Structure formats: structure tokens, C-alpha cells
Amino acid sequence: MAELQFREAIRAAIDEEMAQDEDIFVMGEEVAEYDGAYKVTEGLLDKYGSKRMIDTPISELGFAGIGVGAAMNGLRPIVEFMTFNFAVLAADQIINHASKVKYMTGGQVNVPIVFRGPNASAGQLSATHSVSYDAMYAHFPGLKVIYTSEPADAKGLLKSAIRDDNPVLFMESEQMYGLKGEVPEEDDFTIPIGKAKVKREGGDVTVVAHGKMYHVATQAAQKLAKDGGVEVEIIDPRTVKPLDIETIVKSIKKTNRCVIVDEAHPFGGLAAEVGYLIQREAFDYLDAPVQRVTLPDTNAPFAKNLFDEWLPSPDQVIDAINTVTYRK
């Protein structure tokens, strides 16, 4: 397998898909001449030219709308947001148009578009640049939402997203663009949308975590295995919507305990939805109430000591695991 950075895996997915389909183009702020704010699209302008690598003004609503119109007319745009925190300005095009066109035309018009970019916090960037939006977009019918944690998942799922005939929001993390991981070198490597993965096997407790929180959960699991003899099974949903609840329930039937780790606020987030689905599908298998580790119901602080308290940590995950295993 090749070892790629997260940004290189995303670039490889875009490159491979653009090479085989001339209807695919990339649009966003600094994606062409500057190679992308995080160098995800480095070198693609030289390879595909300015008609397929398009720099836009700082106008998220405007270029998101152009992308939706292009998709309605048969093209396959990839719209990059410098961060999904800025995509709030484009939410009307995503929520009110891209998600509803197929429904309102009785299935006659597809909108094959990918909106991609960093999601959630990136360190001390304060309240307006630190929001996790995956659960918000997953609320709306007609949208698919992906938030991956490792380079191989990013490549395989982004290729599937680009080929999908529905609008897909593909979320990343500024803090993971340099993260390296093994990526299969097989021709046309893809991962189906809506399929979770058991990334660590264990028999004592199931932990559900995606995006950056997968790595927080992994740190907690490694520490518990070393110090406490608790074996944690980690499920990475990879796709927020459609959610693979079957894989989660199968794990809970084995461990009888579950902790959900989510980099979002507690009310109405992914952790709340997964918690409900578990009690509906696996209530009789639970030996303890489901616990969740989330952000507090407070906006992101700037001061480092406060930010470190705000963001979910491995110690918080361990505390939740100790609760469901009655070790505290």
C-alpha cells in the first residue's frame, strides 16, 4: 500500500475521477492558482487547465449556486469551501436547492455535486471557526454526509461521492491534512457510502467515533488496554447519513455497552441520534445506559486552557467507558 497524507489521498481521488470524466470540475476560493488553502488541489490546474480548475471570488453563496445549476445541467462540480464554517453563507443553496431539486421535479433532475472542505475546530480559531456541521446537514432529506478519519477512507469515499447522483457533503479536518496512512493502490479503489467500519476489535465496550474524534477514541482505547485491561471496540461510521446502524448494533450485541464520541454540541447532534437508534434497536442487549462525550453547550473559547477543556479528550472518553463498565 502507498502511504499518503490525508490531503494527498483527497487529491488522488479528485485527480483519478477528473481523468476519467470530463464533466467533473473543481471550483472554490484559491483552488487553482494557489493550489488550495491546504494544498489539496496542488498541481491540478497545470493538469486540467483553468476551465476545470476555477478560482472564485469570496462569495460562498454565489459559487455554490453556480455549482448547483451546473449539476442540474449534467456536469459534476466539486465545490471546495475553505471551511464549512464559511459554508453557512451558502446554506440556502445546499439546504433549500441542492437537497430538494430531485424531490420537487419528481426525480427528473439529479444534482450530482460534492461540497467538500474542513469541518469543526482547527485549534484556537475561536467561536466562529470551530463548529461541527455534519449533524446539521444530515438533518435534511436529500443530502448525504461523509466525515472521514483516515486517508484511505477519504480517498475511497470521495471517489464514491463524486460518482453519486445526489448532493454529497464531504467533510475533512484542517488538523488531519498532514496525517499519514496506508491507502490501497488497487485500480479504482472505492468505498460504498453508508458503510461503517470496525477499526479496533474488543469485547468490553463499543465506542462510536468519527472524524477527529476517532483518533481521540483510539488514544483512550490504547491507554485502557495498557492500564486497565479493558478492550474497546471502535466503530467509525465514516458516513453520517446514511448511517450504518446495523454495524453499531452488531457490536453492541457483543459488548453490551456503548459510548458515543462526537465533536459537536450535545443537543440534536449525531450522538443524540445514535443514542436513540441504539435504544430502539438494541435496548435488550444493553447492560448500562449509553454514554456520550461531546462538546459542552458552549461556543468555542479562544484561550488555550479553556479550549483544551472544551474539546473532548481521551480522559473524558475513559471516564465514560468507566461509567458504562461500572469501574467508577
Our separate counts of H helices and E strands in the chain read 12, 14
**Which residues, in sequence order, are CB contacts of 46 under 8 Å at separation 6+?**
none
Q: Are 310 and 295 in contact (CB under 8 A)?
A: yes
Q: Which CB contacts under 8 angstroms, 24+ apart, belong to 73-77? A: 74/23, 75/23, 75/24, 75/25, 76/21, 76/23, 76/24, 76/25, 76/112, 76/113, 76/114, 76/162, 77/24, 77/25, 77/26, 77/27, 77/113, 77/114
- Exactly one of 8, 17, 29, 60 is catalytic; name it: 60
**Which residues, in sequence order, are CB contacts of 67 under 8 Å at separation 6+?**
27, 77, 79, 93, 113, 115
Q: Please say if 129 is a catalytic residue.
A: yes
Q: Are 141 and 99 in contact (CB under 8 A)?
A: yes
β partners of residue 168 = 114, 144
Q: Are 153 and 236 in contact (CB under 8 A)?
A: yes
Give the chain's residues under pLDDT 70.
none
- Exactly one of 129, 215, 231, 281 is catalytic; name it: 129
Q: What is the pLDDT of residues 147-198, one digit of tens each?
A: 999 999 999 999 999 999 999 999 999 999 999 999 999 989 999 999 999 9
pLDDT at 328: 80
Residue 111's nearest CA partner among 121, 125, 100 is 100
pLDDT at 7: 98
Q: Please say if 215 is a catalytic residue.
A: no
Q: What share of the chain is helix, strand, coil (3-state, %, to 5)?
A: 40, 20, 40
Q: How many residues does the structure list for the chain?
A: 328
pLDDT at 229: 86
pLDDT at 227: 87
| Interstrand relation of 168-172 and 197-200 (parallel, antiparallel or unpaired) | unpaired
In this prediction the pTM is 0.96
| Interstrand relation of 24-28 and 76-80 (parallel, antiparallel or unpaired) | parallel
pLDDT at 276: 97
Burial (Cβ within 10 Å: 0-12, 13-18, ≥19) of residue 45: buried
